[in-house]
Structure 1
Amino acid sequence: MAGRLNHSLTQKESRERNFKISSYTGGTRCRSNNRKRVDKMGWVTTAKVALLLFILSVEFNVGLQEKSASKSFTIDYANDQFLKDGEPFRYMSGSIHYFRVEPSEWRDRLRKMRMAGFNALQTYVEWSSHEPEPGFYDFSGILDLETFLKTAQEEDLVVILRLGPFIDAERDMGGLPYWLLNRNPDMKLRTSDPSYLKYVDDWYSNVLLPKVKPLLYENGGPVIMVQVENEYGSYGACDFAYTSHMRDLIRSGLGDNVLLFSTDGSGTGYLKCGKIPGVYSTVDFGSGGDVTKPFGAMRLFEPRGPLVNSEYYPGWLDHWGAPHSTVSTETVAKSLDDMLALNASVNMYMFHGGTSFGLKAGANQGSKYQACPTSYDYDAPLSEAGDPTEKYFAIRDVVKKYLPIPSGTVPPASPKYSYGKVQLAPQGNMFQFKSVLQSVTQKWPLTFEQLMMPNGLVMYETVLPFRIADPAVLSISDVHDRGYVFVDTYFVGIVSREQQLFNLPLSALPNQTITIVVESQGRICFGNGINDFKGLTTNVTVNGYSLSGWKMTPIPLTNITRLSSALRKLHDMTTSLGLSRSELTGTPRGGMAIYQGSFNVPNNSSHPQDTFLRLDGWGKGIVWVNNFCLGRYWPEVGPQVTLYVPRGILKKGANTMLVMELEVSPCSIASQCYVTLQDTHVINGPTPKDESLGEQERGLIPFPPPPRRAAPFLAELSSLMSNSLLKVVSLLPGVCSSRHTSASSGFLQVSHLGSLLQGV
């Protein structure tokens, strides 16, 4: 290509040279008689060209100045307001995270927000999704940040951009890449630790900021404000050198004109560490109470300037096993009215929560570890499926008192469809699956991070080298987060960080294999514990003796290419061996197994449509549809019972479904081995604290009455083991913790233990 290009340029130069020769040497007479005229004409032409260039230059510079003057977003401190293009401006913003909404639905959600009178979008940028592995960047599909922001601009919304690097947002590790903990296990996250800043600086300077700069308002884009860090006052480090570095880093990449802000809780304790010189401080708080009080805290740090609530909560987040969070519409509307009456600018977090697809949901650490569900509905004005709620219209009525509402009608809720039963069949169990995967052997167990495993499952195996008491105590004092214990392939019980259960009674002989399948339920997303290593983070002991010689097999749940390849190998292996249906499951109750099936979507113009996956009789696991990971399910503990299946991942005709079940399935009878796609969403189901409903009402498959012979066995164990161990014994069948607190749960546990003892 280069040779051909040079050749064509040579021909062009040759033609120009021949033209000049013919023009000036066509004859001595021509050159002689017309030389003075040619010289005069050349001077005139040169002068005209110079004048034209000068005029164009002046017009261009004037144009730039006019553009700069017309495209500006600043703070008018004297009048406590924002100025957009020199005119007073107050924003009513809503949070929508592009990485929680299918791209086919972006415009629908943004338009619905604009039709509620909102004039701005606020969104985070999630580093961990864009750089899932070091040096590998992804801005495609659901991660196409540029398209999302331009779509917002097309829908007449300006953008408030929160760059991170930490975002919280109930995301795994608060949006920080897990691999930072591999690069330096002692890394001090969110500080001026050079080993941390090295990667932050590279991400910002070489990748993120160059993408953001063309999208700034002054450059014709929608971005009017950029956040520095995120709620830093809630982090214990209080490293002013770090926050100043982040400010300067953003300035170096985006310029001095962009308006920078910070966000913190509405207390002086938060603001004193969150305040950054040269960055406008804002606060966040929810509904109820006197709104002037939190704004009063803001005024201590920003005596002049517009009042801003950067996170006004219309609802709240959920945790597995706790009731669905809701906030009354009346309370939300009243507090919003109170703030707007003060001429405050408000961002509603969330306007549309969406879904934590895949394994990206995080967790919180309060009095105990609590994992977040797949749904991020947030009791927001738009539901998880993007439907306007009663709260939406109440908020719209408040907003239109202060800001103009666009003409037209609010887009309706999207149609939903019941695609019915999806018949599934077992494809193999985890013990068979590990045989087609790569393993690592080390003396002591490695964490997920050491194994470069972002999330999901790791199988840890060791051989018992000595004789133990019967029973002995197996201690896994710091499992992160949930471990399923087997002796050989016989299921023994569960250890749980969430339930703070770390010991099990163990009966095993020398040379038997102890396997612990560890599930990461999401890294902590808020506070000082975000360096949340996963897997077996300490040694495993039996009666105080440490077990060594571990074989570790990561299950590639987050890499669909590797997962699909491994599943094909599993299918070939199990087919060649001619295994029976019962041999394809990992436990007698159908746990630790992979199930697959398909369903059809009608081939007409009204399909595909949104639908919801219900898994009655299933315990705990992960689902993929058409190789897209919907996320985790755990209906037995609630509150989320169904999974949202957006139409954007479906196709006309045949669609595939893959279910990885860890605990229990209804598949002992082939005809009952199915899940259901229905047209209603259930995210406020019963939880362990809700004992008002029986099991039939919870939608669980009934279990047989407890065998009488199991009770003496439990009584004997109670005389041998402590109360904490008894609690673990109740987990032996692998049932979910929703059953631990109900009056009938003890019978279920005895029943399951009895089923394990059958044939012994």
Structure 2
Amino acid sequence: MSRFTIGEQDFMLNGKPHRILAGALHYFRVHPDQWADRIRKARQMGLNTIETYVAWNMHAPTPDTFDTTGGLDLGRFLDLVAAEGLHSIVRPGPYICAEWDNGGLPAWLFGSGNPVIRSSDPVYMNLVRRYFEQLAPILVPRQIDAGGPIILVQIENEYGAYGADKDYLQELVELNRQIGLSVPFTTVDQPEPDMLDNGSLPGLHKTGSFGSRAKERLATLRQHQPTGPLMCSEFWVGWFDHWGAHHHTTAAGQAAQELEDLLAAGASVNIYMFHGGTNFGFTNGANDKGVFQPTVTSYDYDSPLDESGHPTAKYWAFREILARYTELDEHDVPAAKEEACSLELPLTQELSLWDYFDATADWTGSQELTSTDAMGHYSGFSVYRTQVQASAQAVLEFEEVRDRAQVFLNRQHVGTLSRDQKETSLVLPAHSGGTLEVLLEDQGRVNYGPRLGEPKGLIGSARLNGVPLKNWQVSPLQLLAGGPVSQAFDGVPQQQVEVLAGPVFARATFDHPVAGDLYFATHNWSKGLVWVNGFCLGRYWARGPQQTLYVPGTLLKPTGNEVLVLELHSATRAMVSFVAEHNLGHTES
């Protein structure tokens, strides 16, 4: 069996110096039928290692489950890495950031005895221990000294930017060893003195996270770690996008020069991201540094391999640089990109969201407002309701909205409150009363900083003209799996839909005899979700920047494909359009 160690100046593979040329590829952001293709293209670019986070919250949606099937089959993913002749770096957290919902921490965690996250708090560590014990059968037999691909495991993630609990880091080290991990352990932090000091331990190998000024930042890293190989284990070659902002890009030539500077300095590298993938469903995270900013559905990241798995100009520029540091077969390259087909079809069925909701609601009552977390609903949409009697001047006010609330009175829309706009109040129609309902959207949990783990929903008090509103009911709106919504269309008559007045579901079917990906165009729509064959592609929003949703070709079949749309507001043209090119929106330039 092979052996991987950390030497005085180099990583050592079977006693010989070894440079890690890695790329980040998150299995949970890529359809599992596409894993092998993306891994192969990493090798073809010149990489010898695949790095992935492990998303605890995806594997453990409830305290009593740990799912490793389908797109969560981490063992199969690692086996595919090994089959391509590559090594693997695994970053199991438990916190991963990654612009991922709640930074990968399960939302139920925060209701389990009030744990103090990312600390040596015993309640938290007991839950982390169970998570790592569940990972052990996957990771331990796939280490390099057992014939597998794993050469490094990371402890926590950029911890120096969050805390300085050395006992916590030490407990994580001991826990990783106790479950049977024997490969070297690393940490990663931005090359700032305080972060490097707080985020690691003497026995852990420090690595850096940065995207520019490589020589300067490697020098800082060396000051804090006099021996051992230098490594940028998050070499940022792009960035992520927020709704309402621009699409981030970096010039291929500039990124390639930064990579050249890094490698010329003798360092190892992990390109973040090699292939970004997609925040399918409700998996996107958010930032809140005074303004709430949810991350878009695409996680393209302006990577060398784009969201749909095709090489970009950055891919070829990086391949040229990497060829100076590793052997490459000039004939072993990805196939040329085939243009996706364009297709337009009418929506032929529609169903009011309220009709679907009334048939599936599961109400919980309380005198005061309660978070959606309190009822065990941790993502997507919920509905709150109570009875009101509006006076001539009626102002409805909530203490806090997390994250977006469409307000209805007797099923008539009266306004929308958004966390990102810091909106908490609106006017109700004068001299009216009846059933007040709030369609509440969790737009993604904060994945970085002190707001990790905050509950979602209508938070605090609700008042009408200053008088507290009581006697609330709340129910989840079950949407993630498209199957129940699809079944609700049984018996709904077929007819061409002209316009959509939301909130409403609409449905169409189509054939796709030519294999390949599609791009769902959202320019006719306001805000909502799309499913194809029961798989949730994710959110769309007219505020952009993203203008298309990626449809993996592996979801499609030659005949009888189903597309479902939930439009929350309105669409003046009720047509489904698939276009030839992905459009991630405007850039700064």
- TM bucket normalised to smaller: over 0.9
Q: For 1:556, which of 469, 478, 494 is the aligned residue?
A: 478
Answer whether contact 2:349 2:508 (CA < 8 A) is retained: no
Q: Deviations over 1:527-570 (max 9, x none)?
A: 11111211111221122222111121211112x2xx63465357
Residue pairs, 1:445-484, within 5 angstroms: 445-464=369-388, 466-468=389-391, 470-484=392-406
Could you tell me which amino acid in structure 1 is paired with residue 418 of structure 2?
Answer: S
Q: Deviations over 1:4-38 (max 9, x none)?
A: xxxxxxxxxxxxxxxxxxxxxxxxxxxxxxxxxxx
Instruction: Determine which structure has the larger helix proportion and give its number.
Output: 1
Residue 145, structure 1, aligned to residue 74, structure 2: yes
Could you tell me which amino acid in structure 1 is paired with residue 578 of structure 2?
Answer: L
Q: Distance in 2 between matches of 1:240 and 1:376?
A: 33
Q: Distance in 1 between matches of 2:63 and 2:140?
A: 23
Q: In structure 1, what is the equivalent of residue 209 of structure 2?
A: 284
Cα RMSD after superposing both structures: 2.1
Q: Distance in 2 between matches of 1:436 and 1:244?
A: 51
Q: In structure 1, what is the equivalent of residue 171 of structure 2?
A: 245
Residue 664, structure 1, aligned to residue 570, structure 2: yes
| Pair 215,81 (structure 1): closer, same or farther in 2 beyond 3 Å | same
Residue pairs, 1:191-270, within 5 angstroms: 191-205=119-133, 207-235=134-162, 237-255=163-181, 257-270=182-195
Could you list the runs of 5+ residues in structure 1 that have no partner in the other structure? 1-66, 667-671, 691-760
Residue 611, structure 1, aligned to residue 518, structure 2: yes
Q: Distance in 2 between matches of 1:226 and 1:542?
A: 54
Q: In structure 2, what is the equivalent of residue 637 of structure 1?
A: 543
Q: CA deviation at 1:571?
A: 4.7
Instruction: Determine which structure has the larger strand proportion and give its number.
Output: 2
Q: Distance in 1 between matches of 2:7 and 2:291?
A: 45
| Pair 276,261 (structure 1): closer, same or farther in 2 beyond 3 Å | same
Answer whether contact 1:427 1:571 (CA < 8 A) is retained: no
Q: Distance in 2 between matches of 1:610 and 1:510?
A: 50
TM-score (norm 2): 0.96
Q: Distance in 2 between matches of 1:297 and 1:492?
A: 56
Q: Distance in 1 between matches of 2:35 and 2:495?
A: 46
Q: For 1:595, which of 472, 483, 506 is the aligned residue?
A: 506
Q: For 1:568, which of 479, 487, 497 is the aligned residue?
A: 487
Q: Distance in 1 between matches of 2:145 and 2:158?
A: 26
Could you list the runs of 5+ residues in structure 2 that have no partner in the other structure? none
| Pair 221,579 (structure 1): closer, same or farther in 2 beyond 3 Å | closer
Q: Distance in 1 between matches of 2:365 and 2:515?
A: 46
Could you tell me which amino acid in structure 2 is paired with residue 564 of structure 1?
Answer: G
Could you tell me which amino acid in structure 2 is paired with residue 127 of structure 1?
Answer: W
Answer whether contact 2:244 2:544 (CA < 8 A) is retained: yes
Q: Distance in 1 between matches of 2:586 and 2:521?
A: 12
Partner-residue secondary structure (3-state), 1:243: helix
Q: In structure 2, what is the equivalent of residue 443 of structure 1?
A: 367
Q: Deviations over 1:387-419 (max 9, x none)?
A: 111111111111111221245321124434325
Q: In structure 1, what is the equivalent of residue 61 of structure 2?
A: 132
Q: In structure 2, what is the equivalent of residue 547 of structure 1?
A: 469
Q: CA deviation at 1:508?
A: 4.7
Answer whether contact 1:434 1:553 (CA < 8 A) is retained: no
Question: Whose radius of gyration is greater, 1 or 2?
Answer: 1
Partner-residue secondary structure (3-state), 1:179: helix
Q: Distance in 2 between matches of 1:566 and 1:296?
A: 56
Q: In structure 2, what is the equivalent of residue 53 of structure 1?
A: none
Q: Distance in 2 between matches of 1:433 and 1:366?
A: 37
Q: In structure 2, what is the equivalent of residue 626 of structure 1?
A: 533
Q: In structure 1, what is the equivalent of residue 3 of structure 2?
A: 72
Higher relative contact order at CA 8 Å, sep ≥6: structure 1 or structure 2? 2
Q: Deviations over 1:173-226 (max 9, x none)?
A: 011111112334x43211122222221111112x10221000000000000000
| Pair 113,569 (structure 1): closer, same or farther in 2 beyond 3 Å | closer
Q: In structure 2, what is the equivalent of residue 400 of structure 1?
A: 323
Q: Deviations over 1:609-644 (max 9, x none)?
A: 11100122210001110001101111x211110000
TM-score (norm 1): 0.75
Residue pairs, 1:384-533, within 5 angstroms: 384-406=307-329, 408-437=331-360, 438-464=362-388, 466-468=389-391, 470-509=392-431, 511-533=433-455
Could you tell me which amino acid in structure 2 is paired with residue 201 of structure 1?
Answer: R
Q: Deviations over 1:696-727 (max 9, x none)?
A: xxxxxxxxxxxxxxxxxxxxxxxxxxxxxxxx
Q: In structure 1, what is the equivalent of residue 577 of structure 2?
A: 676
Q: Distance in 1 between matches of 2:561 and 2:447?
A: 34
Q: In structure 2, what is the equivalent of residue 361 of structure 1?
A: 284
Q: Distance in 2 between matches of 1:581 and 1:387?
A: 35
Partner-residue secondary structure (3-state), 2:194: helix
Could you tell me which amino acid in structure 1 is paired with residue 381 of structure 2?
Answer: L
Q: Deviations over 1:448-489 (max 9, x none)?
A: 21121121110111101x553x33221123111000011111
Partner-residue secondary structure (3-state), 1:361: coil
Q: Distance in 1 between matches of 2:32 and 2:390?
A: 58
Q: CA deviation at 1:507?
A: 2.4
Q: How many residues align?
A: 588
Q: Distance in 2 between matches of 1:631 and 1:219?
A: 39
